[in-house]
Structures are given as structure tokens and as C-alpha cells.
Structure 1
Amino acid sequence: MDTKLQQLTSVMPKEFTLQWLSQITDHFSNKRIIGHGGCGIVYRGVLDNGEEIAVKKLYRSQQPGHDNDKQFQNECTNLMRAQHKNIVRLVGYCYEIRHELVEHNGGHILAGVEEKILCFEYMQGGSLENHLSDESHGLDWRSRYNIIRGICEGLYYLHNGSNHPIYHLDLKPANILLNKEMMPKIGDFGLSRLFDSTQTYITSEVIGTRGYMPPEYIERHKITKKFDIFSLGIIIIQIVAGPKGYTKSDEMPSQQFIELVHENWCKRFQATISAHTSQEIKTCIEIALRCVEGDRVKRPTISEILEELNKFDSITVNELNKVTTDLKRKQSINQYGSSGMFSKSAGKDGSMLSCSSRASLASKPSGVKIECGTLQLPNVKIFKFEDLRLATKNFRPDSVLGEGGFGSISKGWIDENTMSPCMSGTGMTVAVKTNIHEHDLPEEWLAKVHYLSQFAHPNLVKLIGYCKIDDYPLLVCEYMLRGSLENHLFQRGASPLSWDQRMKIALGAAKGLAFLHSQEEKIIYRDMMTRNILLDTTYNAKLSSFGLNGPVGERGDMSTTATLTYVYAAPEDQLTGELTAQSDIYGFGVVLLEVLTGRHAFDSDQPQGEHNLVEWARSYLTHRHKIFRLVDNRLDGQYSTRGVRKVAAFALQCLALDAEMRPSMDAVVSVLEGIQDSADQDRKLGKQKHLKSRYT
């Protein structure tokens, strides 16, 4: 059942009355104040059902055109445009003029007093400013890293999410808010500006906050995207090294500061820090120091920053080697931890002495055998890490097939019957996937593996087995010789796919997704994009299983931190971060457009106004003749015009802004099968005509 807050937080903000806002804030009581800003006071508003919103009352102005008029308009307009999981959501607003007696020239006159109020989602975690601390205490590293990444994703959306970038111009910890899961959201858009394609602006206004302003603004009042990047750099330093971190960084050489911060974090861990975490800390500081370069040209773009952070979603060969330094340690491949279904006690040598059940066996997944803290999955092999290390030749660089959002993929060889490692080029080729960011408890991770293991379908990559050592889970899957659809569409020098090949691939991917959606407990794929569609020797498409979610709950959705690149994410996902089956269908619509056009979903090398494929293509998709302007030039006219029209029409349906208007995947499969059947009939008819011409 919808809550009152859900009714309020529709895509378009509501207009509220001053009387109602006064009521939910206890008449703007001082007890309800949760923050002060440069242009107003923020109150906690409590709805009649107990839910909360933040009510920002701007300071009163008796002079129309006053600065806070502009700030009110800026914040309201730009927040309506910026709908993303890492941007604070605008719930509503109020603009009323009240007539009051005010002092004037020693007397009193009746004057119109403007009341301007903005209402936002309530952020239970408060501002980032309240959570800053040095390395020795406070938030752990994973929480800090996730906050850094979330801020970067929000800023990326502001700078690149539309044809008119938004410059925030007042990024600081006080304007980064945290929800109860500590997800960061950028707020306070009172100083933000909406710009066109011009790169540099000069302003006479005083904007921003001292300490977060770049030197080119302080000295020459020059504004570019690099204004926000400078502010971001200071914030990252403060997140990693505490509120005084930026001052420290200014007092010593960069390398010395990096080593100091790293050393402090090592002390915090009180143990050997993992190679992966060590590199994360160093790289975050290195990025931050580049962001605060005095010369703005030397500062990275937000795209470049995210590209560097994405590298942490893959594991390097050196890191893997360090994981194996103590193979004699007790392996946690298949044992439940004490916080899970079983508790255990161990001898001094690490051997298990006893274990006791903490849950009834009725709670285990069906088809799974449980033996004293061990899950035995019926259809998958449990590999030893040493065997996978040998199968991939120690994960050496020339075995790495690719790196993506969840880890790296290495090529290996195993015996098809014994599943033992064998020499390169012999036996069965497999893909070994490392999930370095897997933080589930052992039983939760194994539950995911169980879900992967029970699904067999021609259009899903087959899971062969798994291994879990310490915090590094690995999956072993069938090897797909022709790689990803992304490489065939966009890799420089790749031979263009024919129209028939594209339709075959699209149909295969659709069938795989339809299969997942057809389960009794519906599975959300969540990563529908060309890089996750893999091809075998005959161009049969299979969905990579590496990003699969578990089953959908009773409500039919799954609240999670969306990992989709924003251009593949449905509008409602960007707004709430909740994923549904309709999210997958929107993502498939984006893939269809990429297949049709041969263009990436987002390509900054395209002309201005064409960077975002979906936004650019919408106007063409509805026009009977203009749709052919979308077709990939590399097809050289070799395609079915009827097929193009059908694909364009169905892509548009998949990309409907209203999730309820999108078709089911079964309907998508039906349409694509019809296109393929028509192509088969055309080929047969062509052959018949050819034979007839030869013998008549």
C-alpha cells in the first residue's frame, strides 16, 4: 500500500500551502530545526502517519528580485531537472505572499512579505559534515569509499546527465546528505547554474563557500566545470583524512601526504591491509590531489575520476597473488560464519571441532544439502583456489578476458570430466570471474550461487562452479568465444555485424531475460547492457550471469543501490534507486537502440545534443521516414525496412517514461521472432526466385 510520503514524492514536485507546512513543522518550532543555511532554515516536518520530510524555509524578503528569489528559482528548477539516486529529491514547494504590518520610516505600513519554502526527502543520516573524522576513528573505510563514489556519481549526473550541464558551485560536506543506509545525496542547489555548451563563464557575483572555491574563481571570478571538481577534491581529502586533511596536504609534498594517510589507515586496521583496500586509499588521495591542482586544466573531469574508481571493480594479478600468500589458512569456501545459520568452534590449529545448527533445516534452499556448516549445491563444482590459480596460469595478464563493474574475468582450462586444471589449449575452456566487492555474509553469497546454479537456459551463461577464499569469491562459467556484443558494436576495427546477426543476438538476449522474468519468484537481471550480452561461436547470445540479483519480494521490486550506468537506468530507478522488472525492459530498449544505430548509449564524441542516445533518438523513433536516419551506416543499406520500423517502434515502447506502459519481455520476444521469421521467409523467397530465373 502506498504511504503518504510515496504519494508526495512523485516525479513532479507538489505545491503545498503555507498553512499545511506550518502544521507539520509545529508552526516552524525551534525544536524542529535540523539545519541552517546561507539562505534559510531547515525544519523537520512530520506527516500525520509519522513519516518525515525536510522543510527548508528561505529567509523572508520584502523586495522582489532579492537574491533569495534567484536561489529559490535555481534550487527548484535544477532539482526538478536533476533526478538521480545521489541527488536529494525535491518533494514540493510553497510560494505565498502574505500581507503584514512592517516598520517603515518610523511608522507602519501594510506590505507583501514573500514566503518561499522547499520540501525535500528527509535524510536520517544528516550531513556528511557531522560524520567527518580522521583515519583513527569514525566511519570505516568501506563506508567512506562508498560515500566518495556516490558523490562522484551524483556529480557525473549533474555534469553529463543532459544536454545542459548543471554546475553545483557550492559542494561541501554540509551540502552532502546521507540517508539511513549512508548513501550520499548532493543537496542545496541554491547557487547552482544551468549552462549550455560554452565552457567558461565570468561572473561578478560572489558564490560558493570559502575554503572550497578554486583559485581561478577567487582571482578572476571564472566558472567552469572544474569549479565543482576542485570542491570535490577537498571533500574527498576530508572524507579520507578528516576535516583537517586538506590543511595537512598543503603542508607537505603530495607523495608524503599519501604515505601518511595510508600509514594511518594501516594502524586503524590493526592488521595487514589488503592490497585492494591499500590501492583504493592511495588512489582516492591521488585523485583528490589532482582535483585541487591550482591549474584547472590539470584537474580531471568527473568522467575520468569515475573511470579510475571503476578500476577497483576488477582485481589485478598482483592482488590475486597476495591473496594466495597463505593457502594453509582455513578456507571459507563453504562454511557458514557464526552470524549465519550455523555457529562453530575451532581448535588452535584452525580445525573444526564442533558445530551446531542455529536454524531449522526447513529454511535451506530446495535441492541443497547441508552438512555441518556446508552447503553442497547439486549442479555446481566447488573448486579449490589453487586449482583455479593453475587453470588460469596464475591469473597472468594474457589470460585476462576483461574487466567490468563486478570484477575481472580470466581465461582458464579444466578437464571436462574431472574438472581438474589442465594445460593451456586443452580440455574445456572456462571463464573465471573474481568478485572483489562481494560483501555478503557467506550464506547470502551461497544463496546467490544457488540461484545461478538452478537456472539452465540456452540464452544464459552456464555456471560451472565456484570458489570462495577469505573475502574473494570466484565464479567459474562457460567460456564465450566471441566476447561481448559491446565489442562487436563499438570496438575500433571490429567487422560490422549484419542486420540478421543483430536481430539474432537481440532475440537471444530477449529470450534469456524473458526466462528470468518468467520464474515463479521473478528474477531481476539489473545489468541489461551490451557488455553483459556474450556471444558463442555462432553468435548465439547469452546473458552473463555475473550480475544476477536474487528473487523479487512480495511487492515485486527490489530496493538496492542501482549499479546500472545511468544511461541504461529507467527514470524511476534514477529517482529512487529501486529496481523492478520494468527496469530491465527499459535497459533492453537502450540495447535495441544501440543495436539499431551502432552508437553507444552515451558518447561524448558525438555532436552536441547527440551525446545521450535515448534523448537524441526519441524524436526520430516516432517518424515513419526519419527513423532510417538512426540506422547504423555500416549496414550500407542491407537491412529490412519493415524490420527497422518494428524494432524502432518496440524500442520506443520499452523506453516509455511510464513503467506501466512498457511491454513484457514475452511480448518483446514475440515481436523479434516475427522479424526473424519474416527475414527467413524473404530469404526463401529470394532463393526460389533465383532458382526460377536459372531454369526458365
Structure 2
Amino acid sequence: MENTSDDPRKLPYQFIREVTNDFHVERVLGSGTFGTVYKGINSSGEETAVKVLHMTGVDDSEFQKEFRNLKSLRHDNIVELVGFCNEAEEVVAEFEGNQVVALKMHTALCLEYVSNGSLQKHISDENTGLNWHIRYKIIKGICVGLKYLHEGLEFSVWHLDLKPDNILLDQNMEPKIADFGLSRLLGDEKTRKTMSAVGTCGYWPPEYLNHQIITKEFDIFSLGVIITKIMTGREGYTSIADMRPGKFVKHVHNNWRNKLCKILRPASLEVYCNQVKRCIEIALECLKPNRQERPTIQYIVSNLEETETVIGDISLHIEQFNNDGESTLHSESNVTSGHSSGGGEASSSTYFDTPTAKAVPFQLLESMTDGFSEERIIGKGEFTRVYKGVYENGQVIAVKRYHSSRRLNDNEFENEIQYLMKVHHPNIIQLVGYCMHTEHQLIEYEGKMVFAEIQNKVLCLEYCSNGSLDQHLSDISYGLDWLTRYRIIKGTCEGLRQLHERSSPIIHMDLNPSNIFLGECMVPKIGDFALARVLEDEYSIQTIRMIGTRGYMPPEFIDKQVISIKSDIYSLGVVIIEIMTGKKYHAYFELSIQELIENVHENWRKRLRATFDDTSGEGYCQQVKKCIKLALSCVEPERLKRPSIGEIIDMLNETETFIHELTLKDKSELLDVHPVELYFPFEPKKATSCSLRLNNKGSDRVAFMVMAKTQKMYSTKLPFCSVVPPGCSYTIAVTIRKQNQQLPSAISEFFTVQSVAVGDHDLKHVDEDSASVVYGNFFKKAEEMNSDELQEMTLPVCWDLPAEGTESEPNQSRIEIIATLDSQQVSSVEVHPSQPWIMTTHHGGSLRVWDYQTMATLQSFQVTDEPVHAAKFIEREKWIIAGDGNGCIHVYSYEEKEPTSFDAHDSGITSLAVHPTQTVVLSFSHDDHLIKLWDWEKDWECTRTFQGHTNRVTQITFNPNGADSFTSVSRDGKVKIWSVHSDGSSPITFDGDDQGLLCVDYFTRRNRQHLITGCMDGTAKIWDLEMDILEGCVHKLEGHEGRVTAVNLHPELPLLITGSLDGTVRLWDSTTYKLENIIGFNLGAVYGFGFIKGLRRLVVGCHQGIAMMEIPSP
């Protein structure tokens, strides 16, 4: 059956019968819905797997589908199609009582024979069966094969029936994905719905079970099931439902540790245990109910390769496993590199997805970069420009073009290619292609026209989506958190180690933040090898050229042009200092070494204490101190005193071990509760509030229930129940009812806070009215099952102010209830830009202005009997403009209560927007779907209308970066961006949410303008306005239990703020989108925000009143 062609060979049906011994029952290997698989043996003894398809009662679509999907697949982890049969035979058959001649189709696929059968036969728990090395090999192989299907082809292939039965194992236990009968090709579509059943129950994701939605995340969910079963066995997988994620990870990790400790040395045990832990964490990420939260296959493979890199680096000799589970020693030269055909940040195309770099036509590069246009430039060097190159199917690469005027000889260009082709590592930028193209141009030279040779020299590199490190350097108090900075430091060191510890070390010679690129998940990758040198037998070399970047060059190079591997170590030290501080190394020259260490250590201590519990925070503080000491040792003036890269990584590993051991020793509280005493100072006939902050620094969701001894004393609805997500805080405003006299200090009052860790699916979508019952039952059950899991804390109540000198709680959020309005719902909030005024409008038709310094009411007047949904200050005119429920706009001056009024719409006005510089105002109403532009210099003439929404417009806002445009959102689910000067037609339109949109705001992230929209499904969606609009939202903020009714970027802080009908406000980091804080004011649904200039105060308008909150420092 040998075939020299790449295409599968067509085989006669008679041959199929012969190799299967006429389909003998003893040759059956397995059977499925559409076919039976036989073992085929030809006359020369060659073995194949023959899948005979059952076509009775159906057409040949299943055969055509599987044949089409299989014939073009070529990968070590995909079962290979070697031949096929699709032959018609005339047979006599009975039809309606008559004998007729009919065509009978014989269809079969001949596949490579895989000797160890299906993975299903090898599934077992940790204590029996395959050793860890083999299990990991199977996991990695499946992932690499799936990566090829999802990202390595012109059109992605979704398998849709991944399960152990469809994963075959060859003689080396290498996995091969098989059975493509249900797979689908992904062309332009990213999501599909189906009415026909696909796959196997037990491997179906929730979105398919509930809505028959099919995406490539279908395969990711199935992969999570498979990985879990490989690691824990069938029964182990079923125990997921009984444990929260953190506990399940710990359970699996401990089981494997107990087995591995019997066969591994201590030096190897930790790294393999960490690999186990990362694998089960990846599996649980794949099983997330929300498909958009599941990782991509690229992310999975990259994470697996990171664990291999650590294992490969633990020593010169490492321990591996043989098939009997015993450990054996192998030299480092025999260790497989973390790079593979499935590694790196691969694209969705096969053009650049080759093991080695390929020559690329210059015309293709011109096409990919729009003719090397200025708009495509993503980086510049002294002699180069780097462009974003986009292949025709969307694949992105970085195209580095050398200036044709530069005197760069071919040897130097080829040397850079050679350096990049020699080194394959997750922390080294990958070369995917190159081009040397010569063209002749007619130019003027010494008064004559001559033909000149123009050489175009180009490198094609993997594209790093997060740019270069220099774009992310920032002060300690903001920007990247410590864990991300540390991962960048460690990854850079790992990449440098790959260069230095070769038989012929490579010296980079230009290591600086602009040459360290950040890929997915901020993984660092060293790039730009134009100045690199190979160090042969000598320890150092000399050069007569000045190369490198000032500020990163060591003194021996500046003084004597001496180059050694310690040159890179010096540069590394400078880079580490800049990563940790955001400042140039020379900024600290006036400080002594000890002063610098203490300065950096103390500044990081403040931020880490606000992020981690005491134990973890102390561990990371020690890591900070160790890192800055390491950096300073790297910049020693005497190069021989600088550490080697191996010594640096060993010291970094020691800090990780220290933190791990410190964490194991400490059993921390689920929640840090602040303050530990609640103070309610007496103010006559006034309700007073105290904020209670619950900080979850762990990795689990934590449910809590706050109860008071005397619940009737408080206007806050008690018990108060909710869940704090991992790494987040929950702030509760507790308000005591108005008191006519000071309460006696002898009254013993206290609050109780109960908390318990919960799983990802527990206590979601709990109705507010039944929350106390549902949570109460949940806590009761948790106590009955395991009392150790339930934690409780008692907080005394004091009726006086805290004594002077009492230390304030860290980062406490001070909350003041300005007013509670039992009868009038707040519908909008506006803060004056220069005066200490807050303006609110109400459903009862009134408008009120408050002084937020004195808490006094300055103005209150009845606009109409209908609800007033919108009002704005126009500071430059000293006006207040309000729209009422009858469609009228009222203009008030600060001095006069009698307004100028005019009819604007036929129904109630729901929003207004004032242009920041021009004399115009936008308005819209409930029912007419029209947006109108009014010019007050033209006596409030309607100068333009904008029509296009098919349902109620819910908010409009001007673009702060270009006020000639504005954005509107509507209950029709559309986002529209309009030009103020247009005729009101042809706006930019994209789909926001099927259920409808309620609010919108602009914000800038990493110098790119974005939109945030609040949706009726309880999410807030992020849109990158500088990307192709059709790509959809780039991120989704989830967690609210009700519609999102207010969204804003804080004008001075890097925070996105969302409010909801669920009564909570959520604060999100505008760069990382991490949820930082949840605030419950206990004033009902949230309808609007206001911001006080120059202060960290947030004003919130709610159904039952107004609150003002001091936003805590990070």
C-alpha cells in the first residue's frame, strides 16, 4: 500500500476485502455510529486500519465529510489517511414488489495503524497505570494536534467529538487524534448553531447542551474533560462536581506528589509537581461554563512548554521516567527542547508555520504591509523599521526591514538569521521568514543617470501582541503588578540562559527594554540580534566598533571595547532595575546601594500589602529585595564579580521555593475584614454610615453573610449576602437609622461575618428577595459537611468616634450617604466641573442641587409632574439644562428659577449631551428613535437630526478625542458612531448585544481609543475603535446580577466603573480589566455616576438616594 504521493491513494473494493480477510469478525478493532474499523494486513505484512462506513439509509455525506477533512491533514499527532475506497456495485434489489438494478456504494477509509489502541483503554487513577511522563506526553501531544487543527490550517477544523475513544496511541505512546466524521471547517464564521446532535454526551460544553451553539471552544471543553481523566481516571473526573476548583487542584496535586516522591529526587520533585499542578489548572480553565473564558489552544500549548523549560533547566542532569515508572538519568543534551512544531505564538495559517524560517517573496511582504506604509510601523531602530504584516487570511507577523541606504554586508545580515535559526525557546523571538531582494533603480549620480542596485533585506518575526517592554515600564505605584513584572524578569533570564549556556555562547550585546517583546500573557521574548556575537573558545573578545545602547553598556566595553557574556549580565541588571522601578538606573546614582535596596523594597511593600495577605505579601517583599540585590550585583563595575545567568536563575528559583513553603505553613483567613470595629458617631436626626471592606486575596470565590445582633437598628438590608471573587474586595455601606439622642455606650451591639469558599457554579443568579434564605441554607449545609471550611468573625459596634491616634485601616473606603429619598427615585447625577455642587434628577419630576462639602440642599424645584431623566450643567453659560417626561427642554440660569422652555420631542427625553466647545446640545426621547442637535446661539434651533436606531436610544456621548463625532447606544442592540456635521445618515454601526444596550462611554487604553457599553444581559463590553469594527468586542466584564445601567471611565484614575440594577458598583482596572472592588450601597438600583475633579471621590445616584465614596488607593 506504499504511496509516494502526498495524496491518499484510491483503492479497489476487492483490495479492501482482501486485507480485512473479507471483513472477518476477528479483525474488528472498534465500531461507531457510521462505521466499523478493521485491522488490515496486505500481502507484504503492512498493517492499516480500515474504516468501513455504513451507508444504509443515508447518502454518502458522512464519507465525503470525513474524507475531505482527513485528506489534507499532515501532522504527527493526527492519524494519517493513506487510502480510500468509494466504489459503486450494481446489485439486484426489490423495490415496490419489482426486481430492479440498484447501485450499492462501498465506502472505506484506510488509515495508518496505531498499535496501542485508543486512550480509553489506558485511563486510570494516579495510583495505577501510566506514569506521569507518559501521561504528560499524551496531554501535550493532544494539545499540539488540536493546535494544528485550530490554528495551523488555512481554515480551522473543529473536531467536535474529542474523547479518549478517538485518541489513538502509537508504539511510543504518542497520541494521534482520529475520527473526523463530525468535524467542521471554520471559514469566515466564528460561531454556528446546529439542529443536529454532534459529539458524545459527557464531552459537550454547556452552550451546546443549552443552545446548540458550536464554536472552537467546544473542542477546548472536551479537551478539559480528557486532560482531567488522563490525570485522575474516570472516577476522579466525577469528583469535580463535589469540590471547588482550588480544592480539586490541591487534591490532584497531592495525589501525584505522593506517587512522584517515591521515584524522584527532591531537586526534580518540585518542578514535576508544578507541572502536574499547571496541567490540572489548565484542565479546569478549559471546563469553564462561559466559553469566552476558556483558554485558546495557543495559550495552553505555551503554558505546557513553559513547564518543560523549567524541567529542562533544573540541572545539568535531569531525571526522566522510563515506561515502568522508574527514574533514569539523562544528560542535558538528550532533553527535548520546549520548542516544537506546536510551540511559539503560531498563527492561524500554514504559510509561516514551518519548523525553520523560509524565504518569502518581497512582493508578498509589500502586500502584507500595505507597501510598507507609515501606518503599519510598530517600531523603529537606527537602521531598521518594523511593520505589522497581515497575511490574506488574517495571520499577523512582524516585518523588520533594513534601510537600503545602510552599508550592511550580506554576512552580517546572514549572521543575524543564523543566530535566530539556531535558538528555539519560548523566551526568544522566533524567526519565521526572510527576504533578500535586489532591484535596479535609475538615479542621478555626479550629474549622470545611472542604474543602482537597491538591496531589500527583511526579517519576518513572530508578532508579539503586547509590544515591547519599554511601553509598559511604570512607577511602582501603578502599572504592571509585581507578579507580572517578576514573570518578565524570570522569562528574560531564561531566554538569556538559552543564549549563554550553548557550546558556543551567543552574546546579545544590545539587551534593553525596547528589544524585549511581550507576547500573549505578557511572556517576554528577547529580540533584535543585529549586534550579537558568538564567543568561541575565548572568555572575551575585543572590537574596534562602538555598539549597543548607551545606559546599558558595561564599563569595560565603554573603556576598552571588551565583550564577554558578562556584558549581557550588566545590561540585564539595568533592565531588571527599570522593570522594578520604572526609572532609569542613572536616576539612582546618588543613592548608596543600601539606600537603593531599602527605597525599592519599601515602595513595593506598600503595594504588595494592599494586594496580598500578610504571609504571601511578606514572601513577595523578600522576593523584591532579592531581585533588586541581584540586579545590583549584575551592574558591578568589575565584570568578574557579576553572577552567571545560571546563578541568577538559581537565586530566583530560591525565592519561589521560599514563597511556596511560606504559604504552605500559613492557613490564612478567607477574607481580610476591615475595620475590626464599626464606628457610628451620633449626629442628631441623621443617618450615619460606616463602610465594611471584605478583601479576598485568595484564589477561590468566597461567599459571605453579614448579620447584626439587632438588625432593626439599621436601614441596611440584613443579613447582607454575596460573593467576593478571587483577588477582589467587596465594600458594604452599613447605615444606622436616624437617632434622636446619643445611644448609651453600654449597649452591646456587634456584627457577625461568616465566610466560606465556593465553587465557580455555586450561588450564581440568586434572586435578591430570596438571597438570605438561599445563602442561609448554603452556609448551614457547609457547616454540617465540614465545619473547618466555615469561618466566622465578630465585629463590635461603637457609638463614638475612634480615639485620637487610633491607626486607620489600610485603604479604607469612606462612604457617606448624602440623602435617602424614600419617595423619589434618582434617575441621573451630574457634578459641577468647578463648584462643589451635585445635581440630581428624580422620577417625581424634581431637580435638586446639593453642596457636597456641607451636605446642604442649594436648590430644589419641580420641573414637571413627569419623570426627569436628564440634566446637565453648562458652565460657560452658567446654565442648567433639563429634559422632562413630556419631551420639553428647560434652560435655567443659576440666578433665576424661571426657565426658558421649548418642545423638543413628542415623548419623554431620556438623555442629553453638551458639546465640550461648541454651542450645541444633543437630545433624544423614549419613543421617536430620533437624536436631535440643538444650537443655543441660534435660539435653540434644531439644526440636524440623526435617525437609524430601531428601538429606544438609551445614551449618547461626545467623543472626547474628537468632539466632531458622538456615539449612541440603543435597546436595539446597536452601537452607532455619528459625525456631527453629517446629514444624519450612514453612521458606523456594529452589533453591541442582542438583548439591548443601556449606556456607553469612551476611554483610552495603551494609546488606543475604546468604548465600554453597558448591556441588558448584565455584562459590560469593551470595543477597540482602532481595530476592524467587525471583529466584535475585545473583552467582556462579567459579574453583575442585573442589567448594567451606568458605565464610565474615571477621569483621573485608571478605573472603569460599572453600576447595575443589582445595586452594586464595580471598579475594574482599565488596563488589565481585573475586577478590583465591589461596592454595595444598599440604596437599590444604580442609575448614574458623578466625579469630583481632583479628588478620589465617586458620587453614585441610586433608586433610594445618593452616596459619595472615597475610592481606595491601590
Structure 2 length as normaliser, TM-score? 0.32
Which is higher, the Rg of structure 1 or of structure 2?
A: 2
Structure-1-length-normalised TM-score: 0.50
Tell me which protein shows more helix as a share of its residues: 1
User: Which structure carries more relative contact order (alpha carbon 8 Å, separation 6+)?
Assistant: 1
